[in-house]
Structure 1
Amino acid sequence: MALDLSRVGERARLKVQREPHWQRLRAGCFLGFRPSKRGGGKGTWIARAYNEDAGKYRTKSLGDFGTLAGNEMFAKAKKQAETLAELVETGGELRAAIETVSDACREYAKTRPEAAERFRRYVYGDALASVKIAKLRRRHVKEWRERLEGQPVLVSRRKEGEIIHRKRALSTVNRDMAVLRAALAKVLSPGAPGSEAAWQEALKAIPNANGRRTLYLAREQRRKLVEKTNAEAAPFVRALCLLPLRPGALAALTAGDFDRRTAELTIGKDKTGKPRRIQLPVDSANLLTMQAANKLPSAPLFMRSNGRAWDKNSWKLPIAAAAFNAGLPGETTAYTLRHSTITDLVCAGLPLLTIAQISGTSAEMIERHYGHLASDAAVKALGELAL
């Protein structure tokens, strides 16, 4: 059971020890209490806040608040601990007051572009955005989750203009909930389990939702897809077929990210948040050389006719139309191309760690989703050695 330092009786029963008894107020923010040998619920309060830049905690003694009544000490100490956390997290500058769910999301999204995009689509325009943090209840979050799960996903637009939707995938719901859960956890401690204050319970991940992507397009199918893609989107789609990158990471590339002299590509905006540099083969380098020609370094490497970069809402319709015209499965998406390219690399015998580094994921994830293919390739290779 979690420690509750707001209860005077519970503090009085704590064991006297050098290490403070810690209570988590929110992610990266803790309040500690070191009982006095004199007993009676007296002791010293300590604040602890995590500094992400330094990779360590900053600790500060708050004193014993001896002039306050027992039930007032916690409130005073909690406020000072939260103030310390704000100072540490913002590099010494107090951030703007966070009053609503929208405020919490905007603060969290300042350095997280992917989260910002999800909040823009599913939070800021929702009734949840205006709910006061102090008054947030499980029912508010539960109702938001129900609205999210019921929101269909646009798949494609047919020639006659009919819009096609599909039900939102459970794995997508989990990803959308994860960023909101993380944003709220930065400013709000979990509520008591089973109570209306337990906002976090409505954001629990759906178990077994992350199914393996099984749709694979052979190289000939991918060539046909590129052929059927309109001229505007064809270079972007071809690049997806050549490089095992996330579509969003590819779309975020600028002309300055590609070094034509060394055929090296720097991938900055990706899920991992850490830039990485990869060496490109001849076909990929030639494609990117053509795309970077006569562009300023800050211009999108893959530019649409309106001068903007590609995004999820602009690439999925041409890919769906090309898949339809090429006679490919209706589930074909931009991620299908990433999965197919990674599959080819694994089957070709490339080390899983190398594939993970190129594609921007962990070796563990590659092993989990593609390890069986590596085993099959090894068996095939051994078979070819048989006399």
Structure 2
Amino acid sequence: MAKTLTEAAITTRNARAKLEPGLYFKGIDPEVHLGYRKGKRGGVWLVRWRNWGPGANYLQTPLGTADDELKEGTLDYEGARRAARAAVEKARAETKAAAQGPALTVRLAVEAYIADRDARDSRRKGRQVRSDGGRRLTRYILGQPTRGRGKAIAAAPLADVALYALKEADLLSWRADLPDAMKATTKQRLINDLKAALNGAYTAHRDRLDANVPAVVKHGLKAAARDDDSVSVARDNQILTDGQIRKLIGAAREIDTEYAWDGDLFRLVVVLAATGARFSQISRMRVSDVQRAAGRLMLPVSRKGRGGKSGSVPIPVGKDVLDALIPAVMGRGKDAPLFERWRHKQVAGSIRWERDKRGPWQSVSELARPWDAIRERAKMPQVIPYALRHSSVVRGVRQNLPIRLVAALHDTSVPMIERHYGRYIADGLEELAARAIVPLVPAVDGDKVIRMAENRS
């Protein structure tokens, strides 16, 4: 039978001053006792608790110096109680985690997430690839060895933190250590990847983890407050006029001809400009998605967000766009990729490259080099391919199309449109309001204004 705990008066400095040197306890839980060890020159706090592991014996650990003489840097009774509870909760969580196998760490969560993302992207592209999220997390969480001329990158301290012990401070410290030069959008993508990895690990192992883990992740990785003015300025720089877009398309036609792209580059740029779609959507289009009789293109929905989205969105386009696509659809199967390009291989024993075979566009990075040539030819050195999407959204807003329709055509949400293009929405509404203005003040001879008769009815 367990012995009955004999409690001592240790709650106040005066009570502890009356005690003889020795060890005293006071219960704070049926199996947790706050201890006070008094010496000749003051005392210290400790806690003991029943071990849930093998042997079921008691364990104990020191907590700190009691405030018998000094208050600064010491613990009073209530402070010691809080420290005792925290120490026991941590110890029991470690014992529970050890009993269920190797501790789950941030590293293991990130590695599982990267494997899943890489497998998903490989299935979509039909070949083995590394996901963008995997690259980011490897660089800024897991670390990587020396590669060629690149220096080795050490793993972040966060990588070895156990999930059961994860604190908001761990996540905030990791965020603070990210490079200042990192773009805000890149930083947010990295944070989103880490959030998805941690939440995925909790979902898969919630029987082993504390229920507070999702809250820790939510608050430790919440989106930083944005400077809306800076976002607006960045967007303004990439809103193109119709004339500028035609200039880019004309430059794309010239570069296509000069570098023997056989129309592949030109057609891709035309559809990017006409639809405002993402590259990832256009690259999945099929020949059957060109519906010339209906005057439209069927655009695959994006893979952004949760859930398995499928289907296509009809996008009306002009005859000029449909005519540009005729070479890509004539004589080809309905299920064939609409946009293809030549693949090249190096001639054996030579530095010369030659055409090998045709295949679909696989990554937006394949557009980087030809786009540099296009914008140089168009004398628009700062323009990016995504400017075609920004401009398409603003074009719809300026035409006073319903915002919900603009969002649907661009496979995004109304809040996203309002957040990033609110200025142009306001301009369009102002124009509509201006059209509703009618003369109200009656004129008289000599253009003198007279007061309207008061309505006495």
TM-score bucket of the superposed structures, by smaller chain: 0.5 to 0.7
Q: Is the 8 A contact 1:149 1:173 kept in 2?
A: no
Shift of residue 250, structure 1, vs aligned partner: 1.9
**Whole-Å separation in 2 of the counterparts to 1:378 and 1:285:** 32
CA distance in 2, matches of 1:239, 1:356: 18
Deviation at 1:205, TM superposition (A): 4.0
Q: Is the alpha carbon distance of 1:257 and 1:168 closer, same or farther for their aligned partners in structure 2, counting shifts above 3 Å?
A: farther
- Residue by residue, what CA displacement relative to the aligned partner does 1:314-341 show, whole Å, maximum 9, x if unpaired? 112322322222122x331111110011
User: How far, CA to CA, are the matches of 1:369 and 1:171 in structure 2?
Assistant: 14
In the TM superposition, what whole-angstrom CA distance separates every residue of 1:171-210 from its partner, at most 9, and x where no partner exists? 12211321232123211568999xxxx8888855443177
Residue number in structure 2 paired with 1:248: 280
Which letter does structure 2 place at the counterpart of 1:207?
Answer: A
Deviation at 1:228, TM superposition (A): 1.4
- The match for 1:128 is 142
Check the 8 A contact 1:255/1:299 in 2, yes or no: yes
1:303 aligned to 340, 353, 368, which one?
340
Percent identity, aligned pairs only? 21
Q: Is the 8 A contact 2:283 2:360 kept in 1?
A: no
Task: Give per-residue Cα distances to partners, 1:207-246, cap 9 Å, x unaligned.
Answer: 3177232221111111111111221322111111111212
Structure-2 change in CA distance of 1:324 and 1:264 (3 Å): closer
**Cα distance in 1 for residues equivalent to 2:366 and 2:132:** 16
Asked if structure 2 preserves the Cα contact closer than 8 Å seen for 1:252 and 1:269, the reply is no
TM-score (norm 2): 0.51
Matches within 5 A, 1:94-105: 99=108, 101-105=110-114
Structure 1 unmatched runs, 5+: 1-7, 13-70, 81-97, 151-166
Match of 1:187 among 196, 201, 218: 201
1:291 deviates by 2.8
Match of 1:45 in 2: none
Tell me the amino acid that sits aligned with residue 396 of structure 2. L
CA distance in 2, matches of 1:325, 1:116: 33
**Is 2:225 the counterpart of 1:207?**
yes
In the alignment, which residue of structure 2 is the partner of 1:314?
366
Shift of 1:133: 10
| C-alpha separation in 1, matches of 2:219 and 2:402 | 40
Matched-pair contact (CA < 8 Å) for 1:106–1:116: no
Q: What are the Cα deviations for residues 24-67 of structure 1, in whole angstroms up to 9, with x where unaligned?
A: xxxxxxxxxxxxxxxxxxxxxxxxxxxxxxxxxxxxxxxxxxxx
Q: How many residues align?
A: 286
Per the alignment, in what secondary structure is the counterpart of residue 274 of structure 1? coil
Matched, 1:277 2:297: no
- Of residues 327, 336, 346, the one that matches 2:379 is 327
**Structure number with bigger Rg:** 2
Q: Deviations over 1:98-134 (max 9, x none)?
A: 9463233223565577996213433457770688999
SS at match of 1:300: coil
1:11 to partner: Cα distance: 12
Alignment partner of 1:371 is 2:403: no
Q: Distance in 1 between matches of 2:304 and 2:402?
A: 22
Shift of 1:366: 1.2
Match of 1:225 among 237, 248, 272: 248
Task: Indicate if the aligned counterparts of 1:225 and 1:322 stay in contact, CA closer than 8 A.
Answer: yes
Q: Note if contact 1:177-1:203 (Cα within 8 Å) is conserved in structure 2.
A: yes
Q: What is the CA–CA distance in structure 2 between the aligned matches of 1:10 and 1:337, rounded to whole Å? A: 68
Structure 2: distance between partners of 1:200 and 1:367:
25
The secondary structure found in structure 2 opposite 1:333 is coil
TM-score by length of 1: 0.58
Q: Secondary structure at the match of 1:334?
A: coil
- Relative to structure 1, the CA distance from residue 308 to residue 279 in structure 2 (aligned partners, 3 Å threshold; closer, same or farther) is closer
Contact 2:110 2:194 survives alignment (8 Å) = no
CA–CA separation in structure 2 for the residues paired with 1:312 and 1:10: 63
Alpha carbons of structure 1 residues 180 and 134: separation in structure 2 relative to 1, 3 Å? closer
Superposed displacement of residue 248, structure 1: 2.4
Query: Which amino acid in the other structure matches residue 341 of structure 2?
Result: R
Q: Which moved more, 1:213-222 or 1:177-186?
A: 177-186
Instruction: Write the distance in 2 (CA, Å) between the matches of 1:10 and 1:129.
Output: 45
Query: SS of the residue aligned with 1:305?
Result: strand
Question: Pairwise mapping of residues 142-153 of structure 1 onto structure 2 (< 5 A)?
Answer: 149=179
Equivalent residue for 1:171, pick from 179, 185, 197: 185
Match of 2:298 in 1: 265
Contact between 1:104 and 1:183, CA under 8 Å: does it hold in 2? yes
Q: 1:192 to 1:354 in 2, by over 3 A?
A: closer
Deviations 1:129-184 (A, max 9, x none): 6889993478998998789747xxxxxxxxxxxxxxxx642112211321232123
Report the 3-state secondary structure (helix = DSSP H, G, I; strand = E; otherwise coil) of the residue aligned with 2:313: strand
Question: 2:248 is aligned with what amino acid?
Answer: L
RMSD, matched Cα: 4.6
In structure 2, runs of 5+ residues without a counterpart are 1-27, 33-91, 102-106, 145-154, 203-208, 344-358, 440-457
CA distance, structure 1, for counterparts of residue 366 and residue 139 of structure 2: 21
Q: Specify whether residues 323 and 192 from structure 1 end up closer, same or farther in structure 2 by C-alpha distance, changes over 3 A only.
A: same
The counterpart of 1:292, out of the listed 320, 329, 343, is 329
What is the Cα deviation at residue 285 of structure 1?
3.8
In structure 2, relative to structure 1, the CA distance for the partners of 1:309 and 1:148 (3 Å cut) is farther
